[in-house]
Amino acid sequence: MNDEIVIRATDFGKRYARHAAVCGLDLAVRKGELYGLIGPDGAGKSSLMKAVAGVLAFEEGRLEVFGLPVGSEREAERVKGRLGLMPQGLGQNLYGDLSIEENVDFFARLRQVPAAEAAARKERLLAITRLAAFRARPMKQLSGGMKQKLGLVCTLIHAPDLIILDEPTTGVDPVSRRDFWAILAELIADQGLTALVSTAYMDEASRFTRMSLLHEGRVLAEGAPQDILALAPGVLVQCRVEPQLEAISRLAADFPQCEAMGPDIRLFAAGLDEAGARAAVAQRLAGLPCQRLDVMEPELEDVFVAMLSRQGAAAATAQPVSAAVANAEGLAIEARGLSKCFGEFIAVGDVSFQVRQGEIFGLLGANGAGKTTAIKMLTGILPPTRGEGRVAGADMKQAGALIKSRIGYMSQAFSLYLDLTVAENIRLYAGIYGLDRRRRDSRLGWILDMAGLHGHENDLASSLPMGLRQRLALGCALVHEPRVLFLDEPTSGVDPLGRRAFWDILFRLSRVDGVAMLVTTHYMSEAEHCDHLALMFAGKVVADASPEAMKQEVIAEAGQLYRLQADNAAALVRPLQEHGFANVSPYGAALHVLTREPERLRKTLAGMGVPADLRERPIAMEDVFVHRVSQLEAASRKGQP
């Protein structure tokens, strides 16, 4: 990386009719940087990226790429040959009926790459992305992760100096996400590329050299990850206290960023060091038994939430009143040997798990693991090939209509009618579930309280911020007071404040009202909120335990997680792997290494002439997921059962 500026935005602004998508944005991206634009849907990321790529006009300020203005179509044409754009959405820049190789060849010809150069570059890129063995497979038959890797290859085939990747990992499972970031870091280190990348996943922010945190079209903060962390000094505290609800109520009085994480409580102690945080928490919890209390460094999401809260962006929500669950004990969902075959293809094979009433249960797995098929069988949408299941006390084979009356379902793809108002959506769902007028009006008031929607009754659903929209969708799923709730990636695209408010509602529904929940999510940080998890792979449940138990199993097998701070960290990945450290991932200016041999790691780094700033870190659910699935994929490639 050097001081040459590749992208410079000065007082940049973009409007759509009366709506200002981006306002007064200043930005400078240097050559060789992996620069991140971090923010939820609607933050202005895509508008800025499309303007940089020369495919979107803008109204305010100045934008330069490679030192040249790109304020008009003619000006933009001068730089397009030196950049590559990968638009948002899985495979959006690809052709479904063409094979992997045909897609790459097409883009090489489109970019007028000489045949010999294109052939050599294609082989290298397919090797790096491990797509060479699948070159004849049609794009439409690829997994989400493979589509994104192919999209990256096609973006790089003409050897651009700048690549623009718009949310390349959205909707991609954690293993494919980590693989994508490792490939990108290697290419940047080897070729001196500059990359402008956007993401809505806050846990990816630490992977960037520098970044801008965006919210509602404005820059909240800019700099390297460590610089942004310094903007909100403090520590994280995670403790286990009973009774949990009372402990949260006490702690929230002093610590606004306080949330339940399964059986634990996690809070950000702003402005305090470890000793001060321990003392303050102990004082608030006086008289309650505390099983454990850990103090850690904060994450970037904690800083983002703190900065939003300072600006008054935090939205207070009322605690939901009791939903009078009919049975707050026993099993809410039970799957016994569920299987579903489509011809010879086994989508789900012999799946068994249980969800207790009042429990938040997470169903995790890579794309194509069988999660959605399992849910469709349990909800009566899809008949099983074999096996049995009970949901809300009803047999899924015999009582499909009864199950549907007892469950709530919040789909990622479709939950609301956007051209109806908030109140109209609630009344519509109340009518669908057969509620009379008195009960409908009562539930309308309950939902407005629960979701913090008072004052928005007559707003169109399409006009709501994503966080409020998802809370409305949750309310519609709860309008008939179901005993069981199915949630399919419910917070996709929601900002961190909205996600935390949403999970606070789910926590209280489970603990206060006894509602059972089955949740799927690609946010591994959200898996920490679950009481219990089942991990699916190739149609089977391969792990079934609490988040804490899963972490301890991985630590016993693979060792502790260490963060290695080093110059040109991404260039160390392959040498360390060649020395036998298989679990190595680049994270911006650092590496994360999962190992049982920290001393051998230090000696290896010393032998490579690398100063070892090695620090132990708590293992996260993403590390668990990646470790387990990588093991299973390796065994599958070897033909093991």
Residue 306 within a domain: no
Residue 462 within a domain: yes
**Is 283 found in the same domain as 182?**
no
pLDDT over 80 (residue 324) = no
Q: Which residues pair with 541 in a beta bridge?
A: 536
Give the residue-averaged pLDDT of 101-107.
Answer: 96
Closest CA to 358 of 327, 335, 379: 327
Whole-model pTM: value is 0.81
**Is 531 found in the same domain as 501?**
yes
Sign of the torsion formed by the C-alpha atoms of 447, 450, 455 and 458 = negative
pLDDT tens digits, residue range 140-171?
Answer: 988 777 888 899 999 999 999 999 999 888 77
Check: CB of residue 319 under 8 Å from CB of residue 260.
Answer: no
pLDDT at position 321 = 39
More confident residue, 475 or 310: 475
More confident residue, 425 or 611: 425
Q: Model confidence at 79, in pLDDT bands (50, 70, 90)?
A: very high
pLDDT at position 156 = 92
pLDDT tens digits, residue range 612-621?
Answer: 778 888 888 8
Where does a domain end: 250, 277, 297?
297
**Is 561 found in the same domain as 501?**
no
**Is 441 found in the same domain as 417?**
yes
Query: CA 190 from chain center: how many Å?
Result: 28
pLDDT at position 320 = 42
Distance of alpha carbon 558 from alpha carbon 542, whole angstroms: 17
More confident residue, 485 or 498: 485
User: DSSP states of 170-230 as a string?
Assistant: TT--HHHHHHHHHHHHHHHHHH--EEEEEES-GGGGGGSSEEEEEETTEEEEEE-HHHHHT
Q: Model confidence at 639, in pLDDT bands (50, 70, 90)?
A: low
pLDDT at position 297 = 87
Q: Which residues pair with 351 in a beta bridge?
A: 338
Number of other CB atoms surrounding residue 401 within 10 Å: 9
**Is 245 found in the same domain as 167?**
no
pLDDT tens digits, residue range 17-50?
Answer: 888 899 999 999 999 999 999 987 778 999 999 9
> Taking all residues of the chain, what is their mean pLDDT, rounded to a whole number?
88
Q: Where are the alpha helices (H) located in 570-620, listed in sequence order?
A: 573-578, 598-607
Residue 441: its H or E element: helix 437-451
Q: What percent of the chain has pLDDT over 70?
A: 95
How far from 479 is each of 434, 467, 483, 507, CA to CA, in Å?
10, 18, 11, 18
Q: Residue 288 is part of which domain span?
A: 233-297
pLDDT at position 142 = 86
Check: CB of residue 44 under 8 Å from CB of residue 61.
Answer: no
Residue 310 within a domain: no
Residue 314 within a domain: no
Q: Model confidence at 537, in pLDDT bands (50, 70, 90)?
A: confident
**Is 65 found in the same domain as 152?**
yes
Tell me, what CATH number does 602's domain have? 3.30.70
| Least confident interval from 362-366, 412-416, 468-472, 557-561 | 412-416
| Least confident interval from 275-289, 501-515, 625-639 | 625-639
Residue 382 within a domain: yes
**Is 405 found in the same domain as 371?**
yes
Residue 316 within a domain: no
Check: CB of residue 446 under 8 Å from CB of residue 353.
Answer: no
**Is 556 found in the same domain as 541?**
no
Distance of alpha carbon 590 from alpha carbon 567, whole angstroms: 8
Q: Which of 100-104, 289-293, 568-572 has the highest mean pLDDT?
A: 100-104
**Is 588 found in the same domain as 532?**
no
Q: Model confidence at 312, in pLDDT bands (50, 70, 90)?
A: low
Q: Which of 134-143, 173-182, 435-444, 523-532 has the highest mean pLDDT?
A: 435-444
Where does a domain end: 545, 577, 606?
545
Q: Which of 97-106, 181-190, 212-221, 444-453 has the highest mean pLDDT?
A: 97-106
**Is 600 found in the same domain as 504?**
no
* Termini Cα distance of the chain: 46
Residue 97 within a domain: yes
Q: Model confidence at 586, in pLDDT bands (50, 70, 90)?
A: confident
Distance of alpha carbon 488 from alpha carbon 474, whole angstroms: 11
Number of other CB atoms surrounding residue 161 within 10 Å: 17
Residue where the block lists tokens 């999962």? 594
How far from 240 is each of 5, 235, 247, 262, CA to CA, in Å?
48, 17, 9, 10
pLDDT at position 493 = 66
What is the tally of structural domains in the chain?
Answer: 4
| Least confident interval from 113-117, 275-279, 510-514 | 510-514
pLDDT at position 329 = 61
Long-range pairs for 504-507: beta carbons < 8 A, 24 or more residues apart:
504/259, 504/260, 504/317, 505/317, 505/320, 505/450, 505/451, 505/471, 505/474, 506/360, 507/259, 507/260, 507/360
**Is 276 found in the same domain as 392?**
no
CB neighbour list of residue 25: distance below 8 Å, 6 or more residues apart: 9, 11, 12, 13, 44, 48, 61, 217, 218, 219
| Least confident interval from 12-21, 309-318, 544-553, 626-635 | 309-318
Q: What is the largest CA-CA distance in the chain?
A: 76
Where does a domain end: 161, 195, 224?
224
**Is 358 found in the same domain as 505?**
yes
Residue 182 within a domain: yes
Tell me, what CATH number does 459's domain have? 3.40.50.300
pLDDT tens digits, residue range 169-192?
Answer: 877 778 778 888 888 888 888 788
